[in-house]
Structure formats: C-alpha cells, structure tokens
Amino acid sequence: MNTDYTKMYENIFKIMGDLTPLKADCGKLCDGACCKGDELTGMRLFPFEKTELPVKKVGGGVRLVVCESECDRSKRPLACRIFPFFPTVDEKGRVFVEADFRGARLCPLVTHSDEIVFDKRFFKALKKVGKILAKDEVCLEFLREATEEIDTYSAFLK
Ligand code: SF4
Ligand code: SF4
C-alpha cells in the first residue's frame, strides 16, 4: 500500500483536534513536566511525520523534536498530542490505548490514573488514530516496537 503520509497526518491531527487526556490543563498538576526538555532530550516523531520544529537525528532512523520547553502549540508533534498515552497493538495488529509507561517517572497521569477523571473523547480519538497508523506497515512496526518498550517499562514498574 502506498500511503500518502502528508494526508494521513493531516487526518490524524484533525481527529485529535484540541483533545487532551483531561478536560482541564494537566500541566497544572506537574508544572508542565513533559515540556521541560532540553537540547539533549525530545519527543520522537512518528514515521514520515513532518514538523516545522527543530529536529535532531539520533541514529537508527530516530528523529526527535527538540523544543527547549516551548513551542507553537498548533505545531506540536503527534507524540506531544497523545502523551502520556499510546496506541499499542497486539500480535494481530489490534489497537488499544494504554498509558505510556515510558513516561511514568515524569507524568502523574500515568502513576495516578485511578484517581483522575479523563476525557473519554481523547481516548476514542486516539484509538481511531491508532487504527489509521496500523493500516500502514511502517507505522504498524513503529507501534509494535513502542508497545514492546511500553510493556517492558510497565513490567519493570509493577
Ligand atoms: S507530564 Fe503529564 S500531567 Fe504533566 S503536562 Fe505532561 S501530560 Fe500533563
Ligand atoms: S514540542 Fe511543544 S508540546 Fe512537545 S514537548 Fe516541546 S514544548 Fe512541549
């Protein structure tokens, strides 16, 4: 299948819209911890995702958006829009939405998820996004690798 990645991400960004895990600004819980990176850290771009923000290539085809704590919100990459959740996949390619345990040290939404009232629309949208990504072989592989990482972190924390 030849995926038109530009169109695919336009559609994905439209689906996510302004949705966030909470109806309120979760940055007030943690003083915006996930945006407190520096030039050495960053948010990983999805396969073929384009961005106008500065990008650092770090081996293995990994591209990180390096933002130094601030960005034009409308330009933030998909990883920032969905953090700290992720569309995981099982061996049959079925999509789920799970807490991204890779961010557990940083984000109270992962560690206190039982006490928080989430916006269901966010999860519905993210599942839809996951299904779109899973239709493309390269993106499906990306989801598979991330799912393995998330499972490893999750097992470690339990
Ligand atoms: S670290 Fe978690 S709670 Fe804090 S702003 Fe980021 S997503 Fe929200
Ligand atoms: S790109 Fe923007 S939303 Fe993402 S971590 Fe950086 S400042 Fe935060």
83 lines ligand 1 (CB under 6 A): yes
- Give 40-80 as a DSSP string: T--EEPPTT---SS-EEE-STT-EEE--TT---GGG--HHH
Q: Is 117 helix (H, G, I), strand (E, B) or coil?
A: coil
In this prediction, residues 98-110 reach a mean pLDDT of: 92
For residue 53, is it within any domain?
yes
Give the count of domains, the chain: 1
| Residue 144 placed within a domain | yes
Task: Report yes or no on 151 lying in a domain.
Answer: yes
> Is 28 a domain residue?
no
pLDDT tens across 27-75, in order? 888 889 999 876 667 899 999 999 999 999 988 889 999 887 788 889 9
Q: Which pTM value belongs to this model?
A: 0.94
Domain membership of residue 134 (yes or no) is yes
Task: Give me the domain span that covers residue 134.
Answer: 5-23+33-157
The finding on whether 26 has its CB within 6 A of some atom of ligand 1 is: yes
**Mind listing the pLDDT tens digit for each residue in 62-93?**
999 988 778 888 999 999 999 999 999 999 99
Closest ligand 2 atom to residue 72 Cα is: 2
Tell whether ligand 1 has an atom less than 6 A from the beta carbon of residue 32. Answer: yes
* Rounded-to-integer distance, Cα 153 and Cα 31, Å: 24
Residue with the smallest CA separation from ligand 1 atom 5 is 27
* 32 Cβ contact list (under 8 Å, min separation 6): 69
